[in-house]
A and B are shown apart, each in its own frame.
Chain A
Amino acid sequence: GDSVTQMEGPVTLSEEAFLTINCTYTATGYPSLFWYVQYPGEGLQLLLKATKADDKGSNKGFEATYRKETTSFHLEKGSVQVSDSAVYFCALNQAGTALIFGKGTTLSVSS
């Protein structure tokens, strides 16, 4: 079945550092890809999404490009802030079906 694999965490960075969180997927067909963020004690918030190959999703300085040839959707940010500290989840779904999540990557940013 479809699945998502994320890099193991935690990721610890200093403020203004460059961030990359790797995500690869296995799926039949052409899934949509998502990044969600979860702050402590809260539910999930959609960070960005891409629905077809070569699409770039972006939001709040975060970007990810849907790479069908490498089945990847890596999350990047050029300069992280302390407020970006959270757990990040990569996810996919096919039309009309449930979201399938990776295990999550914890990001900790220090000042």
Chain B
Amino acid sequence: DAGVTQSPTHLIKTRGQQVTLRCSPKSGHDTVSWYQQALGQGPQFIFQYYEEEERQRGNFPDRFSGHQFPNYSSELNVNALLLGDSALYLCASSSGDGYGYTFGSGTRLTVV
């Protein structure tokens, strides 16, 4: 049973560029959450998608946007990249009850 799959695993972008990260949830899960984990810090909640709608959002600027597809997979888009956006981006899926989260291995984004 495949868990949460994220792609790519690593990428390097230039300041000002745009990036799209992808996430396929665990089988049976319909809710996807995205987190940003800066080096040496705990994960910070970006937003959560359920039924293709943004259900909850953390304290992140509008440069961060997302999408959920009918097959429950999700994308995280970040526009106008800043050096401070360099982090590990984690995707977590759950079945909607909010308790059984499964995390992917993350995408390491480096902005230069």
Identify the A interface with B (CB < 8 A). Answer: 4, 32, 36, 42-46, 49, 51, 89, 93-104
Docked-complex contact B99 and A32, CB < 8 angstroms? yes
**A102, B42: Cα distance in complex, Å:** 6
Closest to B6 in A: A43
A–B Cβ pairs within 8 angstroms, 6 of them: A4-B42, A93-B99, A99-B45, A99-B101, A100-B45, A102-B42
Identify the B interface with A (CB < 8 A). Answer: 4, 33, 35, 40-45, 48, 56, 58, 90, 92, 96-99, 101-106
**A103, B101: Cα distance in complex, Å:** 18
Q: Total A-B pairs in contact (CB under 8 Å)?
A: 54
Determine how close the nearest CB of chain B comes to the CB of A48; give it in whole angstroms: 13
Docked-complex contact B42 and A89, CB < 8 angstroms? yes
- Identify the 3 closest CB pairs spanning chains A and B, nearest first: A101-B42, A96-B98, A44-B103
Determine how close the nearest CB of chain A comes to the CB of B94; give it in whole angstroms: 9
**A93, B35: Cα distance in complex, Å:** 14
Give the residue of A36, A44, A49 whose beta carbon is less than 8 angstroms from that of B99: A49
Question: Within 8 Å CB of B40, what residues of A?
Answer: 104
B interface secondary structure, majority: loop
Closest to B96 in A: A96
Give the residue of B42, B45, B96 whose beta carbon is less than 8 angstroms from that of A104: B42
B101, B104, B105, B106: which has the most chain A beta carbons within 10 Å? B101
Take A98-B56, A98-B58 as given contacts and tell me if A93 and B98 are in contact as well, using a CB distance cutoff of 8 Å.
yes
Question: Within 8 Å CB of A49, what residues of B?
Answer: 99
Closest to B50 in A: A96
Question: Within 8 Å CB of A46, what residues of B?
Answer: 101-102
Question: Within 8 Å CB of B44, what residues of A?
Answer: 101
Question: Within 8 Å CB of B92, what residues of A?
Answer: 44, 99
Determine how close the nearest CB of chain B comes to the CB of A83; give it in whole angstroms: 19
Besides A97-B56, A98-B58, 20 other CB < 8 A contacts?
A: A43-B90, A43-B105, A44-B43, A44-B90, A44-B103, A46-B102, A51-B99, A89-B43, A93-B98, A93-B99, A96-B97, A97-B98, A98-B48, A98-B56, A99-B33, A99-B43, A99-B45, A102-B42, A103-B41, A104-B41
